Structure 1
Amino acid sequence: MGSGSSKPVKNTSGNSRRSLHTASSQSTTATSKRRSIVPPRLKNGEREAFTAAIDQGTTSSRFLIFDGSGTPRAGHQVEFEQLYPHSGWVEHDPYEILNSVNECIENATKMFFDQGYGVGDIKALGITNQRETTVVWDTETGKPLYNAIVWPDTRTSKLVHELRRKGGSEKLQQLCGLPLSTYPSSVKLMWMLRHVPAVQSALKKDRLSFGTVDTWLLYNLTGGVKNGLHVTDPTNASRTMFCNINTLEYDDFLIDWFGVRGVKLPKIVPSSDPDAYGSISDGALAGTKIAGCLGDQSAALVGQCAFTPGMAKNTYGTGCFLLYNTGYEPVLSENGLLTTVAYAFKGFKPVYALEGSIAVAGSAVKFLRDNLGLIKESGEIGELAAKVPDTGGVVFVTAFSGLFAPYWIDDAQGTIFGITQYTTKEHIARATIEATCYQTKAILTAMEKDSGTALHALAVDGGMSNSDVCMQLQADIMGIDVDRPKMRETTALGAAIAAGFAVNMWKGFDELKSVNRDDRKTFSPKTDEGTREKWFNLWGKAVERSRGWVDNDAADEDLE
């Protein structure tokens, strides 16, 4: 079975974790210091009410506590270890994910308590999470059976090529909204069932539990093996390829086609629900209701208050994800996009979205920092890129995990074109930013074709959006305005909104129109259409030449 078949899961003590402030850290820290001597404010004679959010991402976890206006009052963030056992493989220790979340909750809650507030002031919390990442555990012991296989992992490339030749593959996207690729949870679970003896044994004993990261966290936060809940929401379930995009229930054809009959799948419940997610079982927030759950990109759409069909947002995180609200009916793409659930609040009709997913965005910046040493901190990327007027002819196709939407080229790898003796690290930095911007433009073009409507502005958030240089380049390459909020923790805010809805802090979407609207900044394009087309054509040429680097005919033994 190779080295992947018997590798134990580590229960780490967290020594590899790096404790950080959140992206809104400076203002949050300053606010907490100012408020530490101020008693809780009264609102209409009652104590001020708060919601909170666990934001479990690909490279870090965070916990934030928001007031009713969407302003974070306390927060804590922790980076955790990325595991790369082989080329193309990306794993996380499930225990380290859980430990990092608990550490964030404890530290942020202490900050909140130091301001004079109590547990009862947090009316509910929500969870938002990296999607597709796959966790399996023993139903009877609650212990993971393998490391979590992370969403950009490409070990399943050969398996995907095999499945594309299988009868019925042409039905998949119509049923679940997703094309066959290395991206969704389905193929990750199939790989484990083929290659990990502990997983095979658990299935035979009827003890194999499956979940995405939201499910793993909910199971443990509500009691684990004792009485932990095994649930998920439609935004996460729709990323597995097991869920019917129309009914939002598991589909028998899909379950059988992927060969996962007998695996214990989480119950699908609304994204915002006062009862379905239980309460925190212990720790600083013991007894606090969990009332919302959204996959991270859906959470960012909610956090941007993009509740009207035709509104869109782009989140620049480890990857980059553009979601376009299509309303109450799923729209199947003819141009390489995904159909996904935007959100499904209890008492409201589910809302759908078209999505364009870019595998590598912020992770390319980390590559320049950690692997090449071109920068010391990720935030320096914009400053470095601004030192040159252009890339000097360099084009960097950041296909570290193949290329996702709208290309779906899984045999591409990262490739840099146009290097000469003139090339400097500044040119490479700028080309790295432009790679994300060009892929965003490609997705935007596909969305306009599918929807028949051209966007005039794009709401943005996430780490790379903090850079004015990055966002100006994005506007110049797309040819439309880029709209950036002052408070950019919109993913966590979306989960907090979902939780708040469930406990009636808000009763309708109109009540959220003023949330996070102050001091937004707009970046307008400074380029002409001819220049943009010239740049984009060069990018397209580079994409075509990046194909074919991965040998999908390699034997399994070569991939393990």
Structure 2
Amino acid sequence: MTSHVLAIDQGTTGTTVLVLDSRLALRAKVNQEFRQIFPRPGWVEHDLEDIWGSTVSTIQRALREAGVSGRDVAAIGITNQRETTALWDRRSGRPLHHAIVWQDRRTTDACAALKAAGHEPAVREKTGLVIDPYFSATKLRWLLENVRGARERAEAGEAAFGTIDSFLVWRLTAGAAHVTDTSNASRTLLMDLRARRWDRELLDLFGVPPNVLPEIRASSEVYGTTKNVKGLPDGIPVAGIAGDQQAALFGQACFRPGEAKCTYGTGAFLLQNVGTEPVQSSRGLLATVAWTIGGETTYALEGSSFIAGAAVQWLRDGLGIIKSASDVETLAREVRSSEDVVFVPALAGLGAPHWRPEARGVIRGIDRGTTAAHLARATLEGVAFLIFDLAEAMRAEAGRPFPVFRVDGGACQNDLLMQFQADLLDVAVERPRMIETTALGAAFLAGLATGVWKDREEIRRSFKVQKRFEPKMKPVEREQHLAKWRKAVQAA
């Protein structure tokens, strides 16, 4: 029996493996954290051997928990922390340096120099991205310039670059496949967004030799089969790849243009399916590939909020008014409204569409009657307001409304937050039965490529909504809330 799909969700702080059967029953979920390495202020690295070790370990534990063997696995799907940059030796497979994590800011000056030289408009037109240390290109250039012998090996075809998906496929296939998918390649600053191939002018700009690059492939196809992986038999197809946010969009079955999902984690990521043509943003959003399947590429608009769950963490750790994050909803429900209290949780500046890094958090409307419950409720509302601003920018750019707004991530389990989000957006918010949608997306992509699921419609039919939040707020009340929010944002 080979009707199970194994999904590897390789994240920033740990690796999670899910085992699903063909009916989408979750048979096992196992997570393992690994080291975070901070060589200098603003530098963040991962040891690729730590990542690989956590991957092998979680695969073995997940199969044991599911009560199945590797022979029962029909396909493996991979989703990964995006932009994190790896470089390894093609012959031995050994890393040439620690991976440079997406959070790393060591190339800030290099990015500033490229902007000052006037390169950003052309780069943005080709890639849909801005020049920023967040993305992979300047990280790769740093490795090539600072690791002894790296550039020479890269130019000679002896070194391999990849985001974490590439590295995992390389290891799973014993070096037989050096690939990435379009969604991850679109986050490197090196791929032409429309042509979906490495762009020679971008490679020259960032000093990247072509010989170091992986082959860009679709998000759902067989890239190779397992070989010499401890705990797995040889021959299992590795058949699905997508960056974590794109995988969550797919896992939420947002297959139609206009459909969107928001992942509420420490921060929040909002992606909207915009169809088969990319949409360039004038409001600070990013254009990106969502996925490529069967020769057709779907694009997305992406916006992120620096703060979501982190605002609740601040109530817990900074103010001490709650003992655990889950207490915030109970506290907030002690009052019927936040009254005139508005909290702009700009605890790390304001991201899209405001892009004000100098902004700081603001609490307005406090009086003698203000309680901890009012502040808790205003905090949840502040998170929803930030997402509303992103969503409004996205709806304007895409030129279409959200037919549905799907949510995942830890904070989506807060009913008060989700209802207020639906009220602000004036769109139904749907929370899925399985909120592990990132790994679910990777599993879907792999299962589609190997026949576990017939097509996307079969997946859509099997998608289950745990709770639907219908908008209930009257238009006049919504406008009153938004007017208070806009005044508070101006003061942030």
Scaled by the length of structure 2, the TM-score of the pair is 0.88
Task: Answer with 160-169 or 170-179: which moved more.
Answer: 160-169
- What is the one-letter code of the residue matched to 2:455? G
User: How far apart are 1:323 and its partner, in Å?
Assistant: 1.7
1:383 corresponds to which of 309, 313, 330: 330
Tell me if 1:99 matches 2:53: yes
Determine the structure 1 residue equivalent to 2:27.
73
CA distance in structure 2 between the partners assigned to 1:415 and 1:441 by the alignment: 17
Q: Secondary structure in 2 aligned to 1:51? A: strand
Q: Secondary structure in 2 aligned to 1:133? A: coil
Task: Answer with 389-398 or 483-492: which moved more.
Answer: 389-398
- What is the one-letter code of the residue matched to 1:450? E
2:385 corresponds to which of 415, 438, 442: 438
1:125 corresponds to which of 76, 82, 101: 76
User: How far apart are 1:459 and its partner, in Å?
Assistant: 1.1
Determine the structure 2 residue equivalent to 1:469.
416
User: How far apart are 1:122 and its partner, in Å?
Assistant: 1.4
Instruction: Output one character per residue of 1:291-334: Cα deviation in whole Å (capped at 9) or x when no partner.
Output: 11111111112112221222222222343222221222222223
Determine the structure 1 residue equivalent to 2:244.
296
Q: Is the 8 A contact 2:79 2:439 kept in 1?
A: yes
Change (3 A) 1:488 1:187: same
Change (3 A) 1:390 1:124: same
CA distance in structure 2 between the partners assigned to 1:348 and 1:299 by the alignment: 18
Q: Secondary structure in 2 aligned to 1:514? A: helix
- What is the one-letter code of the residue matched to 2:274? T
User: How far apart are 1:524 and its partner, in Å?
Assistant: 2.3
CA distance in structure 1 between the partners assigned to 2:38 and 2:363 by the alignment: 26
Tell me if 1:110 matches 2:56: no
CA distance in structure 1 between the partners assigned to 2:43 and 2:382 by the alignment: 22
**Unaligned runs of at least 5 residues, structure 2:** none
Q: Is the 8 A contact 1:280 1:289 kept in 2?
A: no
Instruction: Output one character per residue of 1:95-140: Cα deviation in whole Å (capped at 9) or x when no partner.
Output: 3333222222111110122xxx332221001001121122333445
Aligned-residue sequence identity (percent) comes to 41
Determine the structure 2 residue equivalent to 1:309.
257
Determine the structure 1 residue equivalent to 2:15.
61
Instruction: Output one character per residue of 1:331-369: Cα deviation in whole Å (capped at 9) or x when no partner.
Output: 222332211111112x34111112222334335545555
CA distance in structure 1 between the partners assigned to 2:404 and 2:432 by the alignment: 13
Tell me if 1:179 matches 2:130: yes
Q: Which structure is higher in strand share?
A: 2
Q: Secondary structure in 1 aligned to 2:282? A: coil
Q: Is the 8 A contact 1:280 1:290 kept in 2?
A: no
User: How far apart are 1:454 and its partner, in Å?
Assistant: 2.0
CA distance in structure 2 between the partners assigned to 1:149 and 1:545 by the alignment: 36
The CA RMSD measured in Å over matched residues stands at: 3.0
Instruction: Output one character per residue of 1:57-107: Cα deviation in whole Å (capped at 9) or x when no partner.
Output: 233321111122222111112234445556555443433333222222111
1:267 corresponds to which of 170, 191, 215: 215
Instruction: Output one character per residue of 1:210-243: Cα deviation in whole Å (capped at 9) or x when no partner.
Output: 22121222223333xxx35321110100011101
Determine the structure 1 residue equivalent to 2:475.
529
Change (3 A) 1:308 1:77: same
1:216 corresponds to which of 161, 164, 167: 167
CA distance in structure 1 between the partners assigned to 2:252 and 2:343 by the alignment: 32
Change (3 A) 1:439 1:120: same
Determine the structure 1 residue equivalent to 2:101.
150
Task: Answer with 380-389 or 328-337: which moved more.
Answer: 380-389
Instruction: Output one character per residue of 1:534-560: Cα deviation in whole Å (capped at 9) or x when no partner.
Output: 4445544555555xxxxxxxxxxxxxx
2:358 corresponds to which of 368, 388, 412: 412
Q: Secondary structure in 2 aligned to 1:329? A: coil
Q: Secondary structure in 1 aligned to 2:170? A: helix
Q: Is the 8 A contact 1:71 1:516 kept in 2?
A: no
Q: Is the 8 A contact 1:136 1:146 kept in 2?
A: yes
CA distance in structure 1 between the partners assigned to 2:142 and 2:378 by the alignment: 35
Q: Is the 8 A contact 2:220 2:448 kept in 1?
A: yes
Q: Is the 8 A contact 1:203 1:263 kept in 2?
A: no
Determine the structure 2 residue equivalent to 1:18.
none
CA distance in structure 2 between the partners assigned to 1:370 and 1:283 by the alignment: 41
CA distance in structure 1 between the partners assigned to 2:75 and 2:462 by the alignment: 18
User: How far apart are 1:268 and its partner, in Å?
Assistant: 1.0
Q: Is the 8 A contact 1:67 1:73 kept in 2?
A: yes
- What is the one-letter code of the residue matched to 2:126? L
Q: Is the 8 A contact 1:127 1:294 kept in 2?
A: yes
Instruction: Output one character per residue of 1:387-419: Cα deviation in whole Å (capped at 9) or x when no partner.
Output: 45328635243453x54432344x336534449
CA distance in structure 2 between the partners assigned to 1:538 and 1:152 by the alignment: 33
CA distance in structure 1 between the partners assigned to 2:352 and 2:425 by the alignment: 16
CA distance in structure 1 between the partners assigned to 2:269 and 2:451 by the alignment: 30
Instruction: Output one character per residue of 1:149-193: Cα deviation in whole Å (capped at 9) or x when no partner.
Output: 333444444443332222332111221111223432223334555
Change (3 A) 1:445 1:242: same
Scaled by the length of structure 1, the TM-score of the pair is 0.78
Determine the structure 2 residue equivalent to 1:258.
206
CA distance in structure 1 between the partners assigned to 2:416 and 2:133 by the alignment: 32
User: How far apart are 1:460 and its partner, in Å?
Assistant: 1.1
User: How far apart are 1:483 and its partner, in Å?
Assistant: 0.9
Counting matched residue pairs gives 486
